[in-house]
């Protein structure tokens, strides 16, 4: 995704403790996500929350880009 691009979270396959924590913060299947800033760490917005994700954690999350 590029800065400002929107999508929908399809899967989150992070290790179990991180998956649970991200779900508590709103990163769940079907949620809308917006890329705020690419890089390491990347900044994404989910609902009213902004999350920083490292590349290795972000690589386990599958997103369907919005058209």
Question: Looking at residue 27, which CATH number applies to its domain?
Answer: 2.30.30.90
* Residue at 59 is within a domain: yes
* Residue at 34 is within a domain: yes
* Residue at 41 is within a domain: yes
* Helix or strand holding residue 56 (H, E): helix 55-58
Q: Are 14 and 22 in contact (CB under 8 A)?
A: yes
- pLDDT tier, 20 (very low <50, low <70, confident <90, very high otherwise): confident
What domain range includes position 24?
A: 6-65
State residue 61 phi and psi, 5-degree precision: -105, 125
**Does pTM top 0.95 for this prediction?**
no
Q: What total number of domains does the chain contain?
A: 1
* Residue at 1 is within a domain: no
* Mean local confidence (pLDDT), 40-64: 93
* Residue at 56 is within a domain: yes
* Residue at 61 is within a domain: yes
């Amino acid at each position: 995704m590029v800065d400002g691009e929107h999508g929908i979270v399809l899967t989150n396959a992070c290790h179990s403790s991180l998956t649970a924590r991200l779900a508590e913060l709103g990163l769940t299947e079907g949620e809308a996500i917006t890329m705020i800033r690419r890089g390491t760490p990347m900044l994404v917005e989910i609902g009213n929350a902004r999350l920083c994700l490292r590349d290795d954690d972000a690589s386990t999350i599958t997103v369907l880009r919005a058209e």
